[in-house]
A and B are shown apart, each in its own frame.
Chain A
Amino acid sequence: MSPSIEAEGLEEPEFKWVNKRGHGGSNKDVQFYESFTYDGVDYSLYDCVYMYKHDEPEQYIGKLLEIWENVDKSKKVKVQWFLRPSEISNYLRDTEVMENEIFLTSGDGVGLANVNPLEAVAGKCNVLCISMDSRNVQPSAEELQGAHYVFYRVFDVKSCEISNHLDDTVGGLPVKFVFKRNEGDRTLDIPTLGSNRKDDDRKVVACEETLKIFGQNPSEELKTVKLDGNSKNLMNRENTDLKKVPVKQERLVKSARKSVDLNGPPSKRAKLDDSVNFAKDKDISGMQNSIILGDVTEPLVMTSGNSSNATPTFVHDKNSVGPKNVVEVANSIVLDGGLAKTSVVSSKEAMKFGHATHSAGLEKDLKLDEDVNASEDRPSRTSVLRSKENTKPGHVRVREKNFVWPRKRVKFVEDSHALEETPRKEAEINNSIKLLKDNNENTIDELKDKSGGIEMMNLWTSINPKEYKTKSKLPNNSSGSDKGPFMEYHEETISKHYNGNLSKSLAVASKSSEERPRKESKVDGSIKFSEDKNKNTIEKLKNKYVGIETKNLQTSINSKEDDSKSKLANNFSGLEKGSVMEYHNETVSKFSLGNIPGSLVAASKSSEERPQKEAMADGSIKISKDKNKNTIEKLKDKSGGFVNSKEDKTKSKLANNSSRLDKGSSLEYRNEAIRNFSDDNLAKSLVAASRSSEERPRKEADIDDSDKLSKDKNKNTMQKCKDKFGGIKTKNVPKVVDSKEEITKSKLANNSNGLDKGSSMVHNEKVSKLSNDNLSRSLIAASKSSGERPQKEARVDDSHELSKDKNKNTMQNFKDKISGIDTKNLSKAVDSKEENNKSKLANNSSGLDKGYSREYHNEKKSQLSSGSLSKSLANGSKSDDQKIGGQIFEVTRRPVVDKSTWLRVPWEQQMQGAHDQGTLVLLQNLDPEYTSREVEDIIWHAFKENCEAKMVQRTAVSCPNSGQAFAIFKTKEITERVVKKLDDGCLMLPNQRPLVGWAGVVPRLPGKQTTFVGHLAIDKDKRQIQREMKNAVSAAHYSQANTLEHEMAMEWCLLQSISDAWWNKLYENTAPRAATMSALLL
């Protein structure tokens, strides 16, 4: 070991030897070195270097195995190669390769290593070994970031296989030189050879053989290496362990963030660990992220490790007496109407918070998933909130009692078992609202939003401590902004955005006799103002809310009297009269009003129990601006508010929801745009009967009113549009007269949407469409026990849409004045002890179609027969063909038919038989997404006939927007009737698809075919081909270029693409044709 320095003042860039190693054995003139300096860079053995590649921009990467100088002063290096994925792409197949991953060669053979002139070294390359092997020192995040390339797998040059297993030697190279080395190790590693002459001698010999050196090393050296390796391993291991710990934690944090299960038992943790390991394997680049995130999320994870009870930072209070929970609600949390519904029925829900802010100040995005497993037997209520965010959130799972209030502004007010208290909760919307970073920051800067005030009052009156069945209460105030920086929502600062109050109240009956009903109301008023990306629009935007008040008043008067009249929920969410929204801009705005009141009343189970009532009111106002500049000049909205009130009289009135824009409220649109006004009213009420004889009915009312005013993008279409809505009134008056029914589930939906007389709409030159969909459904399920009563479900969905067309020239002056649109749905379910229930469902849909207005008054009488498990659909009446018309029915699953699947004839056979008997029908113009079962369901609901259907599977030449199906009916008569009915009438499927039916289609069943167009054979060779057929692999091959076969194959490819073009052209033509046709509809 003589650290001699020889100056090499030769040609080229600066070069000098640094450390000598020894002389070659047989040829004493060969001088080995272990390090040198070249062009100012220090190289030593086992460094990874770039090697010049001839004429190629991409350089080779290799590891220096040997460095020596020959007698003729030529300097050589022996290099073991790293391979880029592109170099071995043939062998990669579907192996996942990281972006900067390379592969070390291993094994024995050509391509493993080469001797190159030293001058070919182009520079140092930082290749990091990230092998999970315990012998490897795990790299830190910084190192990862600094690495040019990483590797953990080797490529065997002989077998051409990739493996991540590292033996003791890799291609002859001791594995310790493969792994990442600690800095301190270097000096230890390298000099060993220098002192050992014998080894050196052999080395030289080996060297001259260039390849396979290490494989032939004497055992002596191997031993030393091994010993060395072991000690090294020990050392490394310690280091590794030390290093691993933080890494693991970080990982854990990361994975924990993905699925934080606060309730997680210890086993969860173990799982997390597993996933950590897994993550290590796979996700290396992601590590940095996790590290960054780690610190922040750690406390969260720690809590997750704890038992389920401990969530100190979270608001979870079992006996909380009037807790005041301030939670921040994420940007735009949209409560799923349907979700609320399902939360009642099925208590399993998922809760997602996009931007949730932990009160502790964690500032990451999490998605909260709450799985509510709590069925009715759980004391704790589970609440489900589903929020949709504009941004991408992470996921956090919360189970039951564990509430993670993570991340950005989520307000989550949770109420637990409040004993006779009237906790009041105020949701304050905190300042920390992050507006997603907009593209236009300037615009937002100039935005001034003033809100007079937001008051949300939730008054809770809950009488009854010991309820077991409370499911969920969520008052959620969400205020968010779509785009923009932070916004402040302090009383007078409202901004654009989203203000949501969600209130839901679920009351579930108490189980004990003494229990009181519990009432909860949640009010959710959400106001969304979303601004556009346009600068100009936002600059000019001034929103002033003088005041937004959301009041939830719940008064539940309930004592031990049976007839208790109680006003359950008064939800008052509104823009009060004073409130003025001014849009001094020219943008398009969407104004949507949504009220979702829902009331759930769950009956008590014991005789003494009182009914519980729940009211949910959700008023949401969305004002979003569109991209148009010039559309709206002023929007003045003076809307008194939404009044949602619910009165519950146990025997008479269940729910009254009225939401309105007061008369004073006027919306003025002076714009040149097209607007869509859609008014959706969804009202649902569920009445679920109590189960015992004494039980009270349970009622649920879910009303969703949403009005959307959306403007279109057309600029020049409308000169001035002034719309004044005198008022929008929504009254929902469901009456359920129910006495002692045992099981009654009824959804009663009453929607009355009125544009009051004063309201005049649509002064424009546009075609406006108003589509009204009324959906009503009544489900009657018979009770199962003798005493039970039938269940009723009625759902009415009213949606009004005013949508304007884009055609300019269609109508010059179009003035539609709707003096009034009244939609009243009165549903009464009167059920006493009779078996037949009569339910009147009135569905009103009023539509404007080119001045045409329609009203559908559907009165349905549905007969319910107890004891039968049949659903009766309102329009599924037994009427004959003539009677149909106008009604909308929802296709649900048809009742179970006798399908003895084990005796089923193959479809083709069935179809052939059906064709022979004339019972085969081809249905066309279906949504291609439908499944065969769904087609059967449609047929069942439309014709009350069972059939066997089969969707025609799509092929390359199928029409992409129209599906076909075969249907087989039972008899020819039925078939003829169905076809006739389809022919004469019009069965409208969703998306404006009238169903078309054809009889007499001849199905082409696959038959024997021996020839195939395009497969050629010379007669003589036919036999041989058949022989080849048996050996399929030889029959399936890529054709080689320069053969006749290939030439012909190319001709086929050409034809294929030509015919593809035909089909595309065809469907390009047909699609708009169909579209224009359906545009003529409603």
Chain B
Amino acid sequence: MDSSSEEYAAFREKVKRTIYVDNMSPLVTEVVVKASFNQFGNVTNVQFIPTYLEPKTMPRAALVEMENSNQARIIIAEMENYPLMISGMPRPVRARAAEMEMFDDRPRKPGRRIQCRWLEPKDPDFEVAKKIKQVVKRHAAEASFLLEQQLAEEAKLGNQQAETLKANYRKYRLIDGLNEDGTVRKLAQFYKMPVSDA
């Protein structure tokens, strides 16, 4: 009993010094995460959270355990203010304080008692419980719908930004090209405008 509560306490400490990071590219590996956050402190452990229920396009999330809780706190605060890019731009990763339920290997809460019972069909609660079950399913459906919507929004934004970037790129390419092939200089001569070498 003692050991379990000790374990639990240790786990709570661990939670405190862990950062939950999401919006990460699937290309990001543990090494990358570690190196990224080692800039701001000492990473002791990185653990990705598997998402079995979400669509494949779901960004990855990970638990980054820092050396101490203070580091974690500071990093989270900083990342709130400045968008941090890991392995790609411009979508920033996002950090939050980790929660116990995010951990796969969490220990039992000491002293928790679970009492269950089967409801009898004639029990008036039975119908209510049935309804609750429906509600639960509905909630799950709602959540997954919202997730879909969110991902769609993200995709939309991503495409939009890709377009913007492409347009920008083309623009600069054009300007570059004009510079390179001497068009600019010729035009400047034509219009008698001084042009400094770009």
Residue numbers of A with Cβ under 8 A of B are 93-94, 96, 342, 346, 348, 773, 775, 849, 852, 875, 884-891, 908, 911, 922, 924-925, 928-934, 937-938, 941-942, 950-959, 962-964, 966, 985-990, 992-994, 996, 998, 1001, 1003-1007, 1009-1010, 1012-1018, 1025, 1029, 1032-1033, 1035-1039, 1044-1053, 1055-1056, 1058-1059, 1062-1063, 1066, 1070, 1073-1074, 1077-1078, 1080-1082
Contact = CB atoms under 8 A, between A and B. Distances in A.
24 contacts: A852-B124, A884-B120, A891-B116, A934-B108, A951-B101, A953-B49, A953-B103, A955-B49, A956-B20, A959-B139, A962-B136, A962-B139, A964-B53, A987-B116, A996-B137, A1003-B52, A1012-B27, A1013-B151, A1033-B35, A1035-B88, A1036-B86, A1044-B90, A1077-B131, A1082-B125
A1055 B146 CA distance: 14
A1045 B94 contact: no
B83 A1038 contact: yes
A1052 B120 contact: no
Interface string B124-167: 11101111110111011011001101110111011001101110
Contact of B41 (A93, A1029, A1058): A93
A1033 B146 contact: no
A399 to B, nearest CB: 15
Contacts of A1062: 146, 149-150
B85 A931 contact: no
> Which 8 pairs of residues, A with B, have the shortest CB-CB distance?
A1014-B91, A1015-B88, A885-B120, A1036-B36, A1048-B90, A1032-B35, A1012-B25, A1049-B83
B7 to A, nearest CB: 12
Contacts of B197: none
Nearest to A348: B2
B180 interface: no
Given A1009-B27, A1015-B89, A1036-B85, A1004 B118 contact: no
B45 interface: no
Contact of A929 (B101, B136, B139): B101
A1066 B51 contact: no
Contacts of B50: 908, 953, 1006
Contacts of B83: 1038-1039, 1046, 1049-1050, 1052-1053
Given A990-B116, A1080-B128, 5 more contacts: A885-B123, A957-B147, A964-B140, A1016-B90, A1073-B135
Contacts of B118: 875, 884-887, 942, 985-988
B77 to A, nearest CB: 12
A1017 B88 contact: yes
Given A942-B118, A1018-B165, A1033-B39, A890 B91 contact: no
A923 to B, nearest CB: 11
Contact of B139 (A1056, A1074, A1082): A1074
A438 B169 CA distance: 70
Interface residues of B, number: 99
B121 A885 contact: yes
Contacts of A342: 1
Contact of B32 (A908, A1017, A1029, A1049): A1029
Given A963-B101, A1016-B90, A1046-B83, A1081 B129 contact: yes
B31 interface: yes
A1006 B136 CA distance: 26
A561 to B, nearest CB: 39
Nearest to A1026: B27
Interface in B42-95: 49-57, 59, 61, 68, 70-71, 74, 82-92, 94
A955 B139 contact: no
Contacts of B106: 931
A952 B88 contact: no
Contacts of B70: 94, 96
A588 to B, nearest CB: 29
Contacts of B102: 953-955
A782 B54 CA distance: 47
A924 B133 CA distance: 9
A745 B136 CA distance: 42
A937 B114 CA distance: 10
B179 interface: no
Contact of A1036 (B32, B41, B71): B32
A348 to B, nearest CB: 7
Contacts of A922: 53
B56 A1029 contact: no
Contact of A1070 (B68, B101, B139): B139
A852 B125 CA distance: 11
Contacts of B91: 1012-1015, 1048-1049, 1052
A1035 B85 contact: yes
A405 to B, nearest CB: 25
A1052 B131 CA distance: 39
A986 B115 CA distance: 14
Contacts of B59: 1012-1013
A887 B140 CA distance: 29
B181 interface: no
A854 B91 CA distance: 59
Nearest to A937: B114
Contacts of A1005: 52
Nearest to A922: B53
Given A1049-B85, A1055-B154, A989 B61 contact: no
B137 A1044 contact: no
A1070 B142 contact: yes
Contacts of B186: none
A1044 B163 CA distance: 13
B85 A1037 contact: yes
Nearest to B72: A94
B117 interface: yes
Nearest to A889: B116
Nearest to B23: A1056
B135 to A, nearest CB: 6
Contact of A933 (B22, B90, B103, B108): B108
Contacts of B35: 1032-1033, 1036
Contacts of A1029: 27, 32, 87
Contacts of A773: 115
A929 B100 contact: yes
B91 to A, nearest CB: 3
A955 B61 contact: yes
B177 interface: no
Contacts of B131: 1077
Contact of B136 (A875, A924, A1015): A924
Given A852-B124, A1007-B56, A934 B114 contact: yes
A888 B115 contact: yes
B133 A1016 contact: no
B174 interface: no
A998 to B, nearest CB: 8
A1049 B92 contact: yes
Given A924-B140, A1070-B142, A988 B92 contact: no
B98 to A, nearest CB: 9
B108 A1015 contact: no
A942 B136 CA distance: 20
Contacts of B57: 1009, 1013
B135 A1077 contact: yes
B36 A1039 contact: no
Contacts of B165: 1016, 1018, 1044, 1048
Nearest to B22: A956
Contact of A1081 (B82, B128, B147): B128
B87 A1015 contact: yes
Nearest to B57: A1013
Contact of A956 (B39, B96, B142): B96
B53 A1004 contact: yes
Contacts of B128: 1077-1078, 1080-1081
Give the interface centre of A932, A1029, A1036 by most chain B CB atoms within 10 Å: A1036
Contacts of B176: none
Contacts of A989: 114, 116
